[in-house]
Chains A and B, each alone.
With several copies, the nearest count.
Chain A
Amino acid sequence: MSNYPKPDAATLVKIYEKMELIRQNDERAHKVVKAGRIIMPYYSPRGQEVIPSAISVSLTAQDYICTIYRGTHDMLAKGVPLKLLWAELAGRVTGTCKGKGGPMHITHPETGVMVTTGVVGSSMPIANGLAWASQLSGDGRVTIANFGDGAANIGAFHESLNMAALWKLPVIFVCQNNRYAEHTTFANSTAVERIGDRAASYGMPGITIDGNDPDVMYGAAKIAIDRARAGEGPTLIEAMTYRFNGHLLGDDGHYMDKEERQRAIAADPVARLRKRLIDEGALSEADAVRIETDISAQLDEAIEFALQSEYPALDEIRRDVFAHELA
């Protein structure tokens, strides 16, 4: 990993901005749900900020991602507009999906968020198809398939990686190993120590890295993305991270290993990167505060927009089932 490409200071700042957005967005989600202002199932990505932030700086808006119910961080890093996102979380017609999809199904093709799935493992087969399209058309796009450690044990993982390798698809499989699948620890669900090693089953490069280290995550992602763009095929990246919260809002995660959890939270990657950027002079304290305040203001605005928006009209139930509206 010492020979990984390193992000320059400006890139690190961009990564940090995304991470801070994800962090604050998560804070707001907790607040808004707990206050009863929005009712939704919310799966916090807190602790996993580095992964999509360090990936996305090497992506264009045209590149595709597929993500999961826990993927708010993936969407935000990819650039989903905050207002549309929040309006969708609030089930409003102004949301990305007119309120019909909700938090588990955010879609926003303009920023490349093509599928958000609530079914474990299902991001991967579809990601292959997007990558296949790029391969056929030669549009040079890459596709990121995000999924969890638990998802690495479902059949769709296996079928997808084999096909991607066989077809040399421009897709990157990003296993965000946050150590838990609902209440089940990684070790209790997985018969091998590193998901990254499973790449060998498909003759595909595979690595297990510290997904909370922005340098490493950036470098690994950059190599994989460049490979994919160059037509050299897929990569499996297992990004080790940690789920700060319970499985979903309302689950306090009391079954999680207390010490391990405290250690992870103490090593909060957002705070760490902020400190480092300031220490290294890449960011002034004032700039950091400005970033934070900006984000906070944007979130205020987005949430306000969402809550002021209308719910979809009831006849939306008959629309978008098929291309033609139902009678």
Chain B
Amino acid sequence: MTSKTTIVQALNQALDDAMAADPSIIVLGEDVADREEGGVMGVTKGLSTKYGDRVRSTPISEQAIVGAAIGASLAGYKPVAEIMLMNFTTVAMDMIVNHAAKLRFMSGGQTHVPIVIRTMTGAGFSVGGQHSDYLEAWFAHTAGIKVVAPADPAEAYGLLLSSIDDPDPVLFIENMPSYWTQGAAPEQGKRIPLGQARIAREGSDLTIVTYSRMVGEALAAAEALSKDGLSIEVVDLRTIAPWDRDTVLQSVAKTGRLLTVHEATKPFGVGSEIAAEVNEELFGRLKSPIRRLGGAFCAVPFSKPLEDAFAPTARTIEAEIRSILSPELTH
């Protein structure tokens, strides 16, 4: 039996392993040093004790945090910056979008910005409208930055290592409500390449393309549907930008049906891009219209029943799939 770990531990291990191997890796963010408890969630715990000044807690100054990461990366370091919650990327968007993502291009390749910006988010924690948003579509729409969102501890570990290795800026999105969910422990040093999706479950009737916490919900839905003989393939995108077209297209070519699922709201979301591309590539070869599930089109509500109704769940995914497959089910 493999040993178990949590996403928090896996991320901590990835940072530790990376820093041990490469002295150019440095870490900054609010409360990340051990004097400040190694991060509000403990992701960076122990690192400052082990690596000293390479780990720095910062003032609450997100522009300065990302700016410092960018500058240090231009000078040869590989900074991992934490923006505590994804909603707070909003105060650092100039640094992320106008600078980190563009300096390689605008300098004609003379400089580059190999930084990782770790950030967490996700509904389900009763923290309301300004602390729960998934904003990955914004960054995927931005040339020059990669976007990664792991679904379990081993994935978090392997993808964070690859994100740190990567010569380009990476926005690394962690789901807060699943931080302490147990999963198989990663194999030390094992990287998961960016840009490669994974078939989290094989199936033949319909493909779900998803990522982050929704992978678990999709798998649960697939499991439930399997009891009715429905065979659902679940593709975990892992890297949202650039996304793995080949894997997605192969899967949908096989199943003939696609449902995209993410926690971000559906309109103008990641699912729309995937649907648009798959529709174009597999025109005339789909058995039913591509459907998309996403969070409700509103700020994440505080009130528990509303918050529970905000994001897709195994149950709503299952229902959506039944409605897609119902013509077949009913004849």
Give residues in A with beta carbon < 8 Å to B: 39-41, 64, 66, 91-93, 95-105, 107-109, 114-115, 117-122, 124-134, 136-137, 143, 150-151, 153-156, 159-160, 162-163, 166-167, 181-184, 188-190, 247, 255, 311-312, 314, 316-323, 326
Contact of A100 among B35, B64, B88, B106 (CB under 8 A): B106
Q: List the B side residues contacting A66 at CB < 8 Å.
A: 71
User: A100-B108, A130-B71, A183-B37 given as contacts; is B61 within 8 A of A163 (CB)?
Assistant: yes
Known A137-B76, A183-B31; 9 more pairs at CB < 8 Å: A98-B303, A100-B105, A100-B129, A128-B71, A136-B26, A163-B64, A316-B303, A317-B301, A320-B298
User: A103-B302, A311-B305 given as contacts; is B70 within 8 A of A184 (CB)?
Assistant: no
Cα(A39)–Cα(B125), bound, Å: 9
| Most-contacted residue by chain A among B35, B88, B299, B306 (CB, 10 A) | B306
User: A162-B64, A184-B31, A321-B144 given as contacts; is B126 within 8 A of A41 (CB)?
Assistant: yes
The 0/1 profile, CB within 8 Å of A marked 1, for residues 47-84 of chain B is 00000011011111111101111111111110100000
Q: List the B side residues contacting A160 at CB < 8 Å.
A: 61, 63-64, 67
Q: List the B side residues contacting A91 at CB < 8 Å.
A: 126, 302-306
- Chain B residues 124-155 with CB under 8 Å of chain A are 125-131, 143-144, 146
Which candidate, B8-16, B90-98, B207-215, B284-292, is the interface stretch facing chain A? B90-98
B70 and A317 within 8 A (CB): no
Q: List the A side residues contacting B125 at CB < 8 Å.
A: 41
Per the CB 8 Å criterion, the residue count for chain B at the interface is 74
- Chain B residues 286-329 with CB under 8 Å of chain A are 296-299, 301-306, 309-310
Q: List the A side residues contacting B76 at CB < 8 Å.
A: 133, 137
Contact of B296 among A41, A93, A317 (CB under 8 A): A317
Cα(A182)–Cα(B99), bound, Å: 22
Q: List the B side residues contacting A107 at CB < 8 Å.
A: 103, 106-108, 110-111
Cα(A322)–Cα(B105), bound, Å: 8
Q: DSSP class of A's interface residues: helix, strand, loop or mixed?
A: mixed
User: A156-B63, A321-B144 given as contacts; is B30 within 8 A of A104 (CB)?
Assistant: no
Q: List the B side residues contacting A39 at CB < 8 Å.
A: 126, 304
| Most-contacted residue by chain A among B62, B63, B77 (CB, 10 A) | B63
Cα(A156)–Cα(B105), bound, Å: 23
Cα(A96)–Cα(B106), bound, Å: 10
User: A98-B109, A125-B64, A181-B60 given as contacts; is B310 within 8 A of A317 (CB)?
Assistant: yes
Q: Could you jot down 14 A-B contacts, CB within 8 Å?
A: A41-B127, A64-B75, A96-B108, A100-B105, A101-B128, A104-B302, A105-B107, A115-B111, A117-B98, A127-B71, A130-B72, A137-B75, A155-B91, A163-B61
Cα(A171)–Cα(B35), bound, Å: 26
B77 and A133 within 8 A (CB): yes
Cα(A108)–Cα(B131), bound, Å: 21
Q: List the A side residues contacting B301 at CB < 8 Å.
A: 99-100, 102, 312, 316-317
User: A118-B128, A156-B64, A321-B143 given as contacts; is B105 within 8 A of A130 (CB)?
Assistant: no
